[in-house]
Amino acid sequence: MGGTMANPTYKQICTGRTGHAEVVRVEFDPAKITLEKVLAVFWKAHDPTTLNRQGADIGTQYRSAIFFHSQADKIVAEKSMKAANLSGEFRSPIVTEITPAATFYEADGYHQNYFNLNANAPYCRAVIWPKLRKLGLKLKE
């Protein structure tokens, strides 16, 4: 999401020339969980202080971004980011962009359900498992 190319492939996004960011579409029932709580997980699940980078993954496609669907959601996201910045949890300022949502392009098939299908792959063990542990999720090893 967030780029200029229609229906980009993962390979095209990895060039950094499409303007798209790799994103996850989160669908939730606001009667069961608030956007504030969803955003609390967002801040913990990645590093929102590094521009165009997540761990060893570098490029504009790895930028930290929140794509909002309404003005009310934008206000919640801005308030959440301000609180996260003031929390003392991060050593550097948050650089997450808060941008209107555009067309969501689903990832290539081999990226769907990637962790569940590849949990023991080196990337998953080195990058995803530590994030899940940080969130307090129990994993089967």
Domain parsing of the chain, residue ranges: 10-107, 117-141
Largest CA distance in the chain: 42
Q: What is the mean pLDDT of residues 9-24?
A: 93
Share of the chain above pLDDT 90, in %: 78
The pTM of this model reads 0.90
10-107 CATH: 3.30.1060.10
Q: Which residues contact 90 (CB under 8 A, 6 or more apart)?
A: 48, 49, 84
CB atoms within 10 A of CB 84: 20
Please, which pLDDT band fits residue 42 given cuts at 50, 70 and 90?
very high
Helix axes 71-86, 35-45, angle to 10 degrees: 50
Whole-number pLDDT of residue 141: 63
Mapping DSSP onto H, E and C, the string for 59-101 reads CHHHCCEEEECCHHHHHHHHHHHHHHHHCCCCCCCCCCEEEEC
